Amino acid sequence: MIKEIEEKVNYCLNCKVRPCSLKGCPLNNRIPDFIQALKKEEYFEAYKILSETTVLPGVCGRICPHEKQCQGSCVRGIKGEPVSIGELEAYTFDKAHELGYHLSDCYEKVEKKDKKVAVIGGGPAGLTCAGFLAKEGIQVTIYEKYNYLGGLLMFGIPDFRLPKEIVENTVKDILDLGIEVKYNQELEKDFTLKDIENEYDAIFLSIGANVSSKMGVEGEELKGVYGGNELLEYNLHPDYKDKKVIVTGGGNVAMDCARTINKLGAKEVTVVYRRAEEQMPAEKKEIADAKAEGVKFAFQNNIVKILGNEKVEKVELIKTKLVQKEGESRLSPVNIENSNYQVDVDYIVMALGSKPQEYVKDLGLTLNKWGNIEVNEEYKTSNPKIFAGGDLAGMKGTVAWAAKSGREAAKNIIKNIEK
């Protein structure tokens, strides 16, 4: 074991209360246990421990918001630096693969059952659901609209944060559990739920919600205004050379967009965020990396109008102040009158959250007030044969939360189809 990793492993106190696992990790990974296995250089054992609760350790170890999740709950972080849990999780996956261990080695071999489940969408929730179903002997078929699996993991997250090789290795591990995939099959285009409902004992919907939300301001329809989610997913970037770009939003998608655009040669990239820096939902590391790479930030500013003749030419911004509103726990941004100003800009990228595809309204399933598919505590929709998870069902927007919904849905699917 290299000295740097050894020091980080030994830094863990292996405390009894384990808030990193029980409070911080959405998947409740047995964090101190896998770290203790690492300490003994029992790499396969460490990988097996992680595989009890997740099929995405190589991914989550790299891109989870560790500061807000596991590391944010670490006892050592109370008076100093927390244990580098994410780095150690990623190291475990990498080391296991280096030694020739795979996910299928972590589970006992079981006979295939006569139960069949369709998983629609091969992103984090779908892959996790498929993996936990397959390891129990359920026959699983994934329907994927692209010719690859991984969803946002493949192209929604830049390579500098999550190398494609890691995603490919993760996907191969999961498929090797005995999962069938039907590629280039898009729901409501190539097939419908009714087409396949009688063929399977249950269906899990995990098609994501990757349509970028808009601000509702004048000029959004102009050429040069892009949705952040679509830019990253489809990788259809314009030529940024000698161009000024504004990215509006404060989450990791905004940071990914800003850093990607900056690396693609933009003259100037500015992140506009209507709240203060300390209120940004993006990871501190992502913000720090963006600053170090030259991305500018305009905190407590808000876009009120986009100006131009057919294409974007200028943007009108207004400064904001933070006030405590009655009934709200955190400070809210309020526009400061007469503080409007305009700046020249070539492109505007909106990274303000996302919503499901329009056709979700026509699936015959009950939706909540935000347009997500409504599920109960078992991840079951209004159709008792159909389950849903991830962003589509309004889960918290991190890979770990999506994966948890897939895992828990798999458990409930098995319980329901084996009654």
Which of 268, 214, 260 is CA-nearest to residue 233? 260
Token pair, residue 174, equals 């999961």
Same domain, 345 and 366: no
Same domain, 158 and 178: yes
Same domain, 58 and 171: no
Question: At which of 105, 134, 152 does a domain end?
Answer: 105
**CATH number of the domain that residue 122 is part of:** 3.50.50.60
Between CA 345 and CA 349 the distance in angstroms is: 11
Same domain, 290 and 204: no
Same domain, 231 and 349: yes
Question: At which of 55, 79, 105 does a domain end?
Answer: 105
CB 179 within 8 A of CB 116: no
Structural domain tally of the chain?
Answer: 3
Between CA 1 and CA 7 the distance in angstroms is: 10
Same domain, 408 and 344: no
Same domain, 271 and 314: yes
Same domain, 65 and 121: no
Contacts of 110 (CB under 8 A, 6+ apart): 135, 136, 137
**What are the CA-CA distances from residue 201 to residues 116, 205, 369, 414 (Å)?**
5, 14, 29, 10
**CATH number of the domain that residue 17 is part of:** 1.10.1060.10
Question: At which of 298, 320, 353 does a domain end?
Answer: 353
Same domain, 330 and 220: yes
Same domain, 222 and 277: yes
**Helix H or strand E encompassing 402:** helix 399-417
Q: Domain span at residue 145? A: 110-209+356-417
Query: For every one of its 419 residues, what pLDDT tens digit does the chain have, with 9 covering 90 and above?
Result: 889 999 999 999 999 999 999 999 999 999 999 999 999 999 999 999 999 999 999 999 999 999 999 999 999 999 999 999 999 999 999 999 999 999 999 999 999 999 999 999 999 999 999 999 999 999 999 999 999 999 989 988 999 999 999 999 999 999 999 999 999 999 999 999 999 999 999 999 999 888 888 899 999 999 999 999 999 988 889 999 999 999 999 999 999 999 999 999 999 999 999 999 999 999 899 999 999 999 999 999 999 999 999 999 999 999 999 998 887 778 899 999 999 999 999 999 999 988 899 999 999 999 998 899 999 999 999 999 999 999 999 888 789 999 999 999 999 999 999 87
Same domain, 252 and 349: yes
